[in-house]
Structure 1
Amino acid sequence: MIARIRLGTLSDLGAIQEIVRAAYSGYISRIGREPGPMLDDYAALIDGSRVHVAETDGVVKGVLVLIPQDSAMLLDNVAVAPEAQGSGLGRLMLAFAEQAAAEAGYQAVTLYTNEAMTENVALYMQLGYRETHRAVEKGLRRVYMCKQLGL
């Protein structure tokens, strides 16, 4: 699988929304409501140059949302189309996020995920992210994580 990661455009909006819906809908029963990424305004995020897409053979298969913050790059969302899950695309996008953060001068990438998404917490820990704290925000129980870059 050869993937290309590029900034998302409004012409990608439908594919982005479909990938997010497919990637997160399975968590609704665990969480009791739609996960945060299903509620985001992707047109506004695209307009702000916050969305990257991963495509293979010209077809969008992954979504990555990066939001620069004061002290770190926030990895706000990473989602992979069901048919591309397990292909390494998610890890490729995470590596891209870390590279983009380093190139922007950040020393860390932060993220948060719902504590019910235990497999995501485990994957992030395996990739070098460490839990910093937990909190309830917007009615969602979140696990906050951070990865120091260049270590």
Structure 2
Amino acid sequence: MKQAPIRRASQKDEAHLAALQKRAYVKYVPLLGTAPQPMAEDARRLLEEYEVWVVDGAEDVLAGALVLRTAADHLLIWSVAVDPTQQGVGLGRRLLDFAEAEARKRGLTEIRLYTNALFTDNRQLYAHLGYVETGIELHEGRELVHMAKTLAAAV
């Protein structure tokens, strides 16, 4: 079965992006007692201020989204959102691999992300993929764990 391509999001995707962010992150509400930052973030702002890549799903919904921001010396993964019906089939990994490829294309050898300290499964997954915890920051009453991965230079 052919995979849907990863494409750059446009303003036309705003409502679908907002819905995906909510579907993907709602499972964390009981753990946090509030909506995680990506779930609460305005999709229009994300599309205007970040670089958003998406994968189309069935029936006019998004299966996944990747929100990136380029800095001088690294690429930041702000969010990886995968529709709950698509979790466990490799889409999240595919989006992370895409982010790493984008970093290399831009001549960057480091990729960074952060996650909530309470999201232990995410922290373990990122560690398994080569990310190293680089610090903990208190942000709006939440502990964020910063992680980084050194990438081999593009060949």
Superposed pair shares fold, TM > 0.5 = yes
State the AA in 2 paired with 1:40. E
Identity of aligned residues (%): 37
Q: Which amino acid aligns with 2:95?
A: M
Q: Does 1:25 align with 2:26?
A: yes
Partner of 1:81: 83
Structure 1 residues 69-148: aligned runs within 5 Å? 69-148=71-150
What is the DSSP-based 3-state SS (H/G/I as helix, E as strand, rest coil) of the residue aligned with 2:89?
coil
Distance 1:87 1:56 in 2: 13
User: How far has the Cα of 1:32 moved from its partner?
Assistant: 2.0
The total of aligned residue pairs comes to 151
Shift of 1:48: 4.0
- CA contact 2:77–2:111 (8 Å) conserved in 1: yes
Q: Does the aligned pair in 1 maintain the 2:67–2:77 contact within 8 Å?
A: yes
Matched letter for residue 20 of structure 1:
Q
Moved more, 106-115 or 12-21: 12-21
Per the alignment, residue 37 of structure 2 pairs with 36
Cα distance, 1:102 vs structure 2 = 1.0
- Contact 1:74 1:109 (8 Å CA) reproduced: yes
Task: Give runs of ≥4 in structure 1 deviating > 4 Å.
Answer: 56-59
Which whole-Å CA distance do the structure 1 matches of 2:25 and 2:49 have between them? 23
Partner amino acid for 1:36?
Q
Q: Deviations over 1:53-110 (max 9, x none)?
A: 0124675200100001132110000000011111100000000000001111111000
Unaligned runs of 5+ in 1: none
- In structure 2, the CA distance between the partners of 1:59 and 1:26, relative to structure 1 (3 Å rule), is closer
Deviates more, 1:85-94 or 1:24-33: 24-33
Find the aligned partners of 1:130 and 1:10 in 2 and give their Cα distance. Answer: 34
In structure 2, give the amino acid aligned to 1:37: P
Tell me how far apart the structure 2 counterparts of residues 104 and 121 of structure 1 sit (CA, whole Å).
26
Distance 1:76 1:120, change over 3 A: same
Aligned to 2:11: 10
